[in-house]
Each structure stands twice: as structure tokens, then as C-alpha cells.
Amino acid sequence: MSNQCKNIFDLSSIYDYVEFDKPLYSIIAKRRTAKLITMSPEEYLQTITVNFGNNSVEETLEFVSKEAIKKYAKLMKQGEKFPVIYYHKDSSLQEGRHRAVAAKLLGCKEIPVIEFRKIDNPELLDIINEIKDKTKEQLNDYFVNLGFKKGITDLGYYDLKRYVQYNLNENYKSVKKYIHKILNNLILD
């Protein structure tokens, strides 16, 4: 990524999102995660086109503001920093079409992009089984090594411990089944 293009985006803005600021909490409590990737502005626009269900990038850009794109390109050229753009892999949610087109106008070949995605229950269980026996310090190092520079928080650590206690504990599962059986009998009566 060229220096001019790299300096357009404020990489610290990723910490405005819980997925980067509190990654373990986000996985356990929110069932989602994110990663910072680089792609060309064209790849970003094509990705959101598919997520929108549109047939072409042109169709996706039909309602963008040309004035906003020109303004952003001018500000970018002057050194203004913008929040990193994003998209959700599992939906049409995105933010950044205008910034991507402005970066493309400036000749950027790569831009930073946040890719958000949901975590389904089987994946969540795989993650929890992999990390449930780690100490807080080990978990922190694990997440830092995954690229989450801030590591984990107490909130995430205690959410993990509660999840393990209440969802993986065999005694709790038995009580939960018993309660469901009683409730089902009440409903069927």
C-alpha cells in the first residue's frame, strides 16, 4: 500500500468497534468477530455489490454522491484521515463506498477494510473448547498473536468463564433439560 494511500485511513479507528476493542467479549457475547484486511477499492466495491444483491458495481454506485466523492478525494489528497471502511460478510451492511471510490480516484491500489462476520454455534463451541482452559494471561497472548493488539479484557474473560460454567457444565445441562421437560409438560397439558 502506498504511503499516501496508507495515510488516508485512520487505523486506530478500528478500536471504535467492539470486535477489535474487546475481541473475546465480542466472540462470546455478540457472536461475531472482525479482521482487518487489505483489498483494492475495486475488490471492495465488487464485494459489497454481491452482498447488496446487485448485478454490477455501476448499480451499487448509482446512488452515491459525486460531490461527496470529490470532497473526500480532495481532503484525502490534503492529508485528512478517514475511518477505515467496512462490510459485513453475512449481510448487506457496509460503510465506505464514497471513501473507496475517492481512494480509487487517487490511484490507491490497496485500502484497509474491516471484514465483520457472524459466529455460528458450532464455531463458537470449537473456539471455546480450544481456549476454555487457558489462563487470562495465556488468552491475552493468544489474542495478541491473532492480531488483536489490545488483547482481551476482564469482561471477555469472565464472559468466557460464565459460558463454560453454565453451558458446558454437565450438571447445569441436566438441570436445564429437566426445566425444559417440566415446561414442555406444562405447555402440553
Q: What is the mean pLDDT of residues 30-50?
A: 94
Q: Does any domain span residue 164? A: no
> What does the pLDDT read at residue 108?
96
Q: Are strands 94-95 and 85-88 parallel, antiparallel or unpaired?
A: antiparallel
Supply the range of the domain harboring residue 94.
3-153
Q: Does any domain span residue 62? A: yes
Q: What is the mean pLDDT of residues 15-24?
A: 95
**Does residue 178 carry a pLDDT above 70?**
no
Q: What does the alpha-carbon distance between residue 155 and residue 77 come to, in Å, rounded to a whole number?
A: 40
Q: Does any domain span residue 168? A: no
Q: Are strands 111-118 and 9-10 parallel, antiparallel or unpaired?
A: unpaired
- Judge whether 163 and 28 are in contact, CB under 8 Å: yes
Model confidence at 59, in pLDDT bands (50, 70, 90)? confident
Q: Does any domain span residue 158? A: no
Helix axes 136-145 and 154-163, enclosed angle (nearest 10): 110
Q: What is the mean pLDDT of residues 1-18?
A: 84
- Judge whether 85 and 5 are in contact, CB under 8 Å: no
pLDDT digits (tens, 9 = 90+) for 61-115: 888 899 999 999 999 999 999 999 999 998 889 999 999 999 999 999 999 999 9
Lowest mean pLDDT among 84-88, 168-172, 181-185: 168-172
| Global pTM exceeds 0.75 | yes
Q: Does any domain span residue 179? A: no
Lowest mean pLDDT among 7-16, 80-89, 170-179: 170-179
> What does the pLDDT read at residue 149?
93
> What does the pLDDT read at residue 60?
81
Mean pLDDT of all residues belonging to the chain: 89
- Judge whether 9 and 44 are in contact, CB under 8 Å: no
AA identity, residue 72: Y
Q: Does any domain span residue 159? A: no
Q: Does any domain span residue 160? A: no
Q: Grid coordinates 464514497 are at which residue?
A: 98
AA identity, residue 53: G
Comparison of pLDDT for 178 and 144, the residue scoring more: 144
Q: Does any domain span residue 118? A: yes
**165 CB burial (10 A radius; 0-12, 13-18, 19+):** exposed
**Number of separate domains in the chain:** 1
Q: Nearest-CA neighbor of 36 among 112, 119, 90? A: 112
> What does the pLDDT read at residue 4?
64
